[in-house]
Amino acid sequence: MRLQDEPELPAQINIVPMIDVIFAILTFFIMSTLYLTRSEGLPVNLPQAATGKTDRPAQVTLTINNTGKIFLNKEAVSLDQLATLVKEKVEPSQPLMVILNADAAVTHGQVVAVMDKVRQVEGVKLGIATHK
């Protein structure tokens, strides 16, 4: 039974723990994005140049999936068509970078055959994508 003298306390929502969790998540995301940058070389202060520009080579992705099918920029191609289709993408003034994404289940012989076809094209640099 309740006494008449007791004052009724209003309901309260305590948001301090929620704020602590939000700041912890925010700190995690800030710290993890700092490690996403790729640093190649030593840190130096670079000079400025009025005529400087970023010159990235043209890039094509060549994928061999786990069933052995070959894709050039998400388009299915055969091994015989590969050299001619890569040659069409090469521009005379700029080298073409071909990135090879081969599934781990693909046989070594098929990867070598694809690499051999790509290397026959003039002006092409070949790179193989891997995970650390």
SS (H, E, C) 37-53: CCCCCCCCCCCCCCCCC
| The pLDDT value given to residue 75 | 86
CATH classification of the domain holding 88: 3.30.420.270
In a domain, 70, yes or no: yes
Give the angle subtended at the CA of 97 by the CAs of 116 and 131, to the nearest 5°.
85
In a domain, 88, yes or no: yes
Rounded to an integer, what is the distance from CA 39 to the centroid of its chain? 15
pTM > 0.85: yes or no: no
- The count of domains in the chain is 1
Rounded Cα distance, 34 and 28, in Å: 10
In a domain, 9, yes or no: no
Rounded Cα distance, 57 and 85, in Å: 18
Q: Count Cα neighbours of 81 within 13 Å in the Cβ-side half-sphere.
A: 10
In a domain, 52, yes or no: no
| The pLDDT value given to residue 21 | 94
Question: Which residue range(s) make up the domain with 102?
Answer: 58-128
- Residue pair 70/63 in contact (Cβ under 8 Å)? The answer is yes
First to last CA, the chain: 68
Rounded Cα distance, 50 and 47, in Å: 10
In a domain, 45, yes or no: no
In a domain, 121, yes or no: yes
In a domain, 20, yes or no: no
pLDDT tens-place values along the chain, 132 residues long: 555 677 777 888 889 999 999 999 999 999 888 877 665 566 666 677 777 666 666 788 888 888 888 888 888 888 888 888 888 888 877 788 888 888 888 888 988 998 998 888 888 888 888 777
In a domain, 90, yes or no: yes
